[in-house]
Amino acid sequence: MLNEPTLKELQGVACRLRVETLKMLNLAKSGHTGGSLSVLDLLSVLFFHKMRHDPSNPAWEERDRFVLSKGHAAPALYACLAEAGYFPREDLRTLRRLGSHLQGHPDMNKTPGVEVCTGSLGQGLSQANGLAMAARLAGRKSRVYTVLGDGELQEGQVWEAAMAAAHYGLDNLCALVDHNGLQIDGEVAKVMNVAPVGPKFLAFGWHVLEVDGHDLQAIAQALDNAEETSGQPTMIIARTVKGKGVPFFEHKASYHGVPPSDDELGRALEHLGHS
Amino acid sequence: MIATRDAYGQTLVELGRENPKVVVLDADLSGSTKTAPFAKEFPGRFFNAGIAEANMVGMAAGLAAGGMVPFASTFAVFAAGRAFEQIRQSLAYPRMNVKVVATHGGITVGEDGGSHQSVEDLAIMRALPNMTVLCPADGPETAAAVRAAAAYDGPVYIRLGRSKVPVVFPQGIDYAIGRGQILRPGSDLTFVTTGLMTAQALEAAVILEAEGVAARVLHLGSIKPLDADLVLHAARETGALVTAEEHSVLGGLGGAVCELVSEGYPVPVERVGLRDVFGQSGTAEELLVHYGLTPGHLVEAAERVLRRKKGR
């Protein structure tokens, strides 16, 4: 539960993260805009409210772990890591450049705060399972969070991992689906329907919650609920809007892998009150 | 005679006792891959992924990221084949500290047939940056390789076999990843071998000795990194090489040796292995004969390469 000042602060953080994300994508001249904007409110609550982590000590053993399974939303993750202080904000301008520690998709060996390498869809949940198993074996209280895309649920490995997480009762694991309904080729429901997502995870033995993925309070409550759940992993299905926060990007599959032009950036920043 | 997979199973249990961070994953083949004894002694550190190799590899990556030392086992066809992209993205690319120990490599899988006989795994794994690829000759070398892999920080692929094979090395051999071993001196040609073909080459060398030919036997239990020095010395000193592997002649040991000597010291090379074909059902012994992987075939290859050497 977020009190009013925290909520206000998080709203401010989320807005700043959107601005940073758009700026870095514009400079990089390539990258995934729509899915970075849709996932940002989830990341805001995770990184700046829920997760226990220490940017001054990224290797802190007891930290909570985060896996961005939908690795193409790397700009959103990098914006969070810079905001949290894992590296200087100026680094964001080097996104996707030769020699940059900010690769097109998250790289644990290059970027402080990135736990595993992701980007090839379908693999993050398995890695999150392993991290949750390791935390349990080591007697750590750390929790593991991962965010998947809804299109990503088309990958068979996700369901192998879903089976295993429930089988091993990984209640220190919380997965979230950024359910924006769009993928590169169009609507998820038309490309390869993944619905109904909730009942599928229920049938696989998960504790399932559905929230508005842009309602910070609802996200925070769902994450608290997940932490209180024992004996099974939790899946938070977050209904989101691709391109959220920039009206002319919203609900558009065409902005999946396209950065904002200079003109679009200007208009977007104006809308976000940061021109 | 002991199967390399049996030596693996025994060594895993020892490692489990020595290091609480060693964890083992399997994909419903623990009886065959020999991870079952570990599972029995350390049930809390054994994770059966069920018949789901992709997730097994991904979970192993997560366990390694969480500080454990995971060994993940299944048959070579499923490890290097089914889970290839997981090995690439979740293990090799991040240089994750996971050991993939693939049993049932090659045709000596036998009766299960070509669908289950991996003839391409060494080539596939060798092509991955950051990957170490080991193919021990026998039980003692397997024990040493598994221990060395556990001590090494990074991804390792170890290829083991189903059938019992002759013992070539003493127990507790002096072992280092990336180092080859000259098992027999010789100056006329060199057998460059890996896995169970090393024992076959030692027999072939005895046959050749009776014909007055001195064949060196150079065993490479490490396909990657390859012991380039020993191979190039052999090329320089004996002037002819015969590679031998229970694998396709494309991209594995034969491929690696040809790549090396063609740039470093070109000499005639004959490659013994599967000639770009899949295997089939049969006993291990029958299949070795059928696909030309016996000491007799190695002698013939040696004679061919010696003719080419003389003709230069």
- In sequence order, what DSSP letters do the residues of B106-160 get, joined into one string? SGGG-TT-GGG-BSSHHHHHHTSTT-EEE--SSHHHHHHHHHHHHHSSS-EEEE-
**Which of these ranges, A181-185, A254-258, B17-21, B150-154, has the smallest mean pLDDT?**
A254-258
pLDDT, position A149: 98
Report yes or no: A126 at the B interface, CB cutoff 8 Å. Answer: yes
**Average pLDDT score over residue span B39-43:** 98
Which pLDDT band, with edges at 50, 70 and 90, does B61 fall under?
very high
| Cβ within 8 Å, pair B89-A133 | no
8-state DSSP, B103: E
In this predicted complex, what is the ipTM?
0.96
Q: Which among B14, B18, B41, B53 is annotated as catalytic?
A: B53
Which residues in chain B have their CB less than 8 angstroms from residue A125's CB? 58
Instruction: Give residue-wise pLDDT tens across range A15-51.
Output: 999 999 999 999 999 999 999 999 999 999 999 999 9
pTM metric for this prediction: 0.97
Instruction: Give residue-wise pLDDT tens across range B243-297.
Output: 999 999 999 999 999 999 999 999 999 999 999 999 999 999 999 999 999 999 9
Given a cut of 90, is residue A254 above it in pLDDT? no
Judge whether B285 counts as a catalytic residue: no
Nearest CA in chain B to A62: B66
pLDDT, position A253: 85
**Average pLDDT score over residue span B48-53:** 98
| Cβ within 8 Å, pair B54-A109 | no
Given a cut of 70, is residue A275 above it in pLDDT? no
pLDDT, position A221: 98
Buried-exposed string B96-106: b where 16+ CB fall within 10 A, e elsewhere: bbbbbbbbbbb
Across the interface, of B50, B58, B67, the residue whose CB is closest to A126 is B58
| Cβ within 8 Å, pair A157-B67 | no
Nearest CA in chain A to B56: A126
**Average pLDDT score over residue span A229-238:** 98
**Average pLDDT score over residue span B94-107:** 98
Instruction: Give residue-wise pLDDT tens across range B157-178.
Output: 999 999 999 999 999 899 999 9
| Cβ within 8 Å, pair B54-A156 | yes
Which pLDDT band, with edges at 50, 70 and 90, does B301 fall under?
very high
Mean residue pLDDT of chain B comes to: 98
Nearest to B135 by CA among B252, B269, B276: B252
Which pLDDT band, with edges at 50, 70 and 90, does A255 fall under?
confident
Nearest CA in chain A to B43: A137
Which residues in chain B have their CB less than 8 angstroms from residue A135's CB? 66
* SS3 of A32-53: CCHHHHHHHHHHHHHHHHHCCC
Which residues in chain A have their CB less than 8 angstroms from residue B61's CB? 116, 123, 126-127, 130
Report yes or no: B23 at the A interface, CB cutoff 8 Å. Answer: yes
**Average pLDDT score over residue span B213-229:** 98
Report yes or no: B70 at the A interface, CB cutoff 8 Å. Answer: yes
pLDDT, position B235: 98
Which pLDDT band, with edges at 50, 70 and 90, does A274 fall under?
confident
Across the interface, of A109, A122, A129, the residue whose CB is closest to B62 is A129
Which residues in chain A have their CB less than 8 angstroms from residue B26's CB? none
pLDDT, position B136: 98
Given a cut of 70, is residue A52 above it in pLDDT? yes
Instruction: Give residue-wise pLDDT tens across range A151-160.
Output: 999 999 999 9
Report yes or no: A120 at the B interface, CB cutoff 8 Å. Answer: yes
| Cβ within 8 Å, pair B68-A109 | no
- HSE, CB side, 13 Å, CA atoms: give it for residue B311: 7
Nearest CA in chain A to B96: A116
Instruction: Give residue-wise pLDDT tens across range A71-96.
Output: 999 999 999 999 999 999 999 999 99
Which pLDDT band, with edges at 50, 70 and 90, does A177 fall under?
very high
Across the interface, of A119, A127, A156, the residue whose CB is closest to B65 is A127
Given a cut of 80, is residue B141 above it in pLDDT? yes
